[in-house]
Each structure stands twice: as structure tokens, then as C-alpha cells.
Amino acid sequence: MATAWSRRYAQRTNAVRSSAIRELLKLTQRPEVISFAGGLPAPELFPIERFDEACHTVLKQNGRVALQYGPTEGYVPLRELIVANMRRYGIVADLANVLITCGSQQALDLIGKLLIDGGDRVLVESPTYLGALQAFNVYGAQYVAVALDQDGIRTDRLPQALESSPKFMYILPNFHNPAGVTLCEERREELILIADSYGIPIVEDDPYGQLRYDGDHRSALVVLDRIHRRSDEQFLSGNVIYLSTFSKLLAPGLRLGWVVAPQEVIARLVQLKQGADLHTSTFTQMVAYEVARDGFLDEHVKRLRSAYRERRDTMLAALQELFPPEAAWTRPEGGLFLWVTLPSGMNCEELLKAALRQNVAFVPGGSFYSGAPDGCHMRLNFSHSPPDLIWEGIRRLGAAVKEQLKGLAAITV
């Protein structure tokens, strides 16, 4: 029924489909499934005791504030903590440059709302984060896609792509979701120069930047932009909006992310957030601050790095041993994901069905393209499952891949 409603839906919602990842998360919640599908942190590493103490402290010392309405910009001590945390990575922001959001996903939605008129183009990497496509689609975005390789976005292809005058570029420089690759230093410099000369701003999405397991930290685009402009005094007056989140550093169940941007952009985003949800939960912000303070966040991130490094290494070793030689995969220096490329002709949707029959799950690569996918890919998450389950899951997945390959060879012969 509900026809009174269905003929009233806005045109924009025609572009909206349910997220394959979210729907899969439902399917894979059965306890017997080894899931490499979601981007879930390891739940056994959540600092639950520390959260319990933090809740008690916040409610005892400041309960009347924690449970009341709060400012749209966010809880000041948490924003100050973010400013201090980012400064160590060279990101020089003032309090007025930081807005707390309900996860990075809300930042993407607010940015879409602020910048995208129906039919506007957005330059994205190919593949790119599915949730960003979801957030931008609803505002009627069209896409210009630029391929990635092992060193990140192909900057040599940017000048041609920018001729279509996209409204902005959406870039995941570190431990790319889904591709697992990291933008090399040289291309970062190029990207900043090209963005500036074409006058096209950048939205830099960096949810995993602090989760690096090998190699050296790479400068954030927002930092290189500042250096390029020599604008140490005018903090963040530049060409880049920077996004990050507590979802992977502390806990996604809090729904706490942040935007760093020029003050004028933040003022606009604050207005849009007022209309969207008034503000992010005062309570979760105060609890996150209480958990993170006094150096705890840094210690905790070190523990995460160590655990996730082991899981990544386990998955890489298992792939090497248990996947057929026709498959290739990225070797991420950090983050949560790696990206498997399978021989052309393979069917990833069928592979997922076969995998689910063996109680193992992944996300087929097709979901991560704004246009047509370039071949058959799997996104594999290595943060959620402990090493023994990673090995077992890759064993089952490898068997499913070999099985389909065999069928393919039979047809070819």
C-alpha cells in the first residue's frame, strides 16, 4: 500500500539504493560466518573498562551537562583534544576549524548538501568508498572517475579529468577503502599543485591515517596545501577539507567523526548540521573525551597497530598459500582492507554466494565504482577477525575461488 507516499518521493531518491555493505552486514551477523565484509574494528580490543570508568566520571561530575542539549559545533574539550592530536601530524587547526559529526559518514552527507547541486560532477577515485557515493548520490552528483594504481590516484590523468570542472575531488590518500593502497609523496605534491592551478578543492577522507603498520607517515594533503600556500598564519584558509573519525581509533558505536576546514566552511556546515540533527550526542562526546584524555588514545592506537599488523600479515600469508596464482592483491601499509583482483571472466556475485555457503563473507568489488567496475575484485577486511579465523576464512574463500576458476577453465577448454 502506502501509495499516498510512494508517488510523492522526491526525484533525488531515485538515485538511492540500499548499501550493499549494510545489507551484507545483516546477512553476515550469523555467528558462524567468518566475515571479511564489513569495516569493523576488533570488538575484543574495545577498551570497555576505560569506557565504564569514563561514563561514571562524566555522569558523576557533569551529568546535567552530558544529558542536556549542547552546541552544534561539538564539545569544546573534545575539539581541543582533536586539535592537539592533529597538530602532531602537522595539521594546524584552531578550535573554530573543527566540527564534530555523527561519524565521518555525516561529514560526507553535510559536504554533499553544502556543495552538490543536481547534475554537478564530483571527481572520485576508481574504486572509491561506497558510503561517499551513497552520500553524494542523493544530492544528484555525477562522477568523473580516475583510476588508482599501487601508488594511489593516477595524477597524470587528473588534468584531462578536471576539464569537466568537477565541484570537488574526493580523495582517500591513506590505506584506501577499498583498494588498500597509499598515495605516494610525489603524487601528493602533484595533486596539490593541480588542484590549486585548476581551482578545484579537495575533500581528504582519512579515517585510518593513524593506523599505519609499516613505512613512514605521509603528509596529509591539507598539510601540503598549507605549505604550498605558505599560509602558516592563516590556518586552513586553503583548498582542502579534511575528515577523520574515532570509529577506528576508539569505537564506531559512538558515531563520532570530525571535519577540519576553513572557518567559513565550518560555519556553513554548522548551519546545515543544525537542520540535520541539532548536534551530536553530548554524552558520547564527553565519554569519548574522558576515554581518550591523558594519553590513553595514543597507547590504545599502539595496541591496535600491533594487533592489526599481525592480522594483515596473517591474511597476506594465507592468501599466498591458499589462493590460486591467478589472483593478485594489494599489500596495505595500514588501515583495514586489502583488495583482491581475480582473473577476468570470474563472477564476484556468484563467488559471494558460494562463499556464504561456506560461511565466509567479503564485499564484491563492483559496489565501489561510480561507473562500470574494471574486472572482478573482492574487498577483504582484516581487522575484525582474529588470526586463526582469518586463516580459516581465507582457506574457504580460496577453495571457492579455485572452484570457480576450474569451471571457467572447463568452459574455456
The nearer residue to a second copy, 54 or 183, going by C-beta atoms, is 54
Give the shortest CB-273-to-a second copy separation in angstroms: 10
Which element (helix H / strand E) includes 142? strand 142-149
Q: Which residues contact 132 (CB under 8 A, 6 or more apart)?
A: 108, 124, 170, 205
Please give the single-letter amino acid code of residue 64: R
CA distance 275 to 252: 23
Greatest Cα-to-Cα distance within the chain, rounded to the nearest angstrom: 73
Residue 260's beta-bridge partner residues? Answer: 98, 242
Nearer to a second copy, 26 or 230 (CB): 26
Whole-number minimum distance, CB 347 to a second copy, in Å?
26
Cβ-based burial of 391 (10 A; exposed 0-12, middle 13-18, buried ≥19): middle
Q: 5: number of CA atoms within 13 Å, CB side?
A: 3
Q: Which of 265, 245, 262, 209 is nearest to 90 (CA)?
A: 209
Question: Which one, 44 or 294, has the nearer CB to a second copy?
Answer: 44
Task: Name the minimum Å distance from CB 22 to a second copy.
Answer: 5
383: Cα within 13 Å, side-chain hemisphere: 28
Q: State the nearest-atom distance from the C-beta of 245 to a second copy, in Å.
A: 11
Q: Mind giving me the DSSP string for 323-374?
A: S-TT-EE---SBSSEEEEEE-TT--HHHHHHHHHHTTEE-EEGGGG-SS---
DSSP codes of every residue in 104-135: HHHHHHHHHHHH--TT-EEEEEES--HHHHHH
User: 203: which 3 cell numbers?
Assistant: 575533500
Positive or negative CA dihedral for 271, 277, 132, 216? positive
Cα 111 to Cα 74: distance, rounded to the nearest angstrom: 17
Q: Which three cell numbers stand for residue 410?
A: 572447463
Nearer to a second copy, 37 or 348 (CB): 37
Residue number, 212 or 255, with CB nearest to a second copy: 255
- Evaluate the omega torsion of the peptide bond into residue 127 and state whether it is cis, within 30 degrees of 0: yes
Q: Minimum CB separation from a second copy for residue 399, in Å?
A: 28
121, 164 in Cβ contact below 8 A? yes
Return the closest-CA partner of residue 340 out of 354, 320, 355, 358. 320
Q: How far is the CB of 300 from a second copy (least distance, A)?
A: 12
Please identify, using beta-carbon distances, which residue of 251 and 351 lies nearer to a second copy: 251
**Which CB sits closer to a second copy, 233 or 294?**
233
Compute the least distance from the CB of residue 165 to a second copy, in Å: 11
**Whose Cβ is closer to a second copy: residue 204's or residue 333's?**
204
Taking the complex as a whole, how short is the minimal distance between the CB of residue 13 and a second copy, in angstroms?
6
Q: What are phi and psi of 38, to 5 degrees?
A: -70, 170
Q: Judged by CB, which is closer to a second copy: 268, or 396?
A: 268
Query: What is the closest distance, in whole angstroms, from the C-beta atom of residue 136 to a second copy in the complex?
Result: 8
Query: Smallest gap, in angstroms, from Cβ of residue 365 to a second copy?
Result: 20
In the complex with a second copy, the residue whose CB is nearer, 120 or 310, is 120
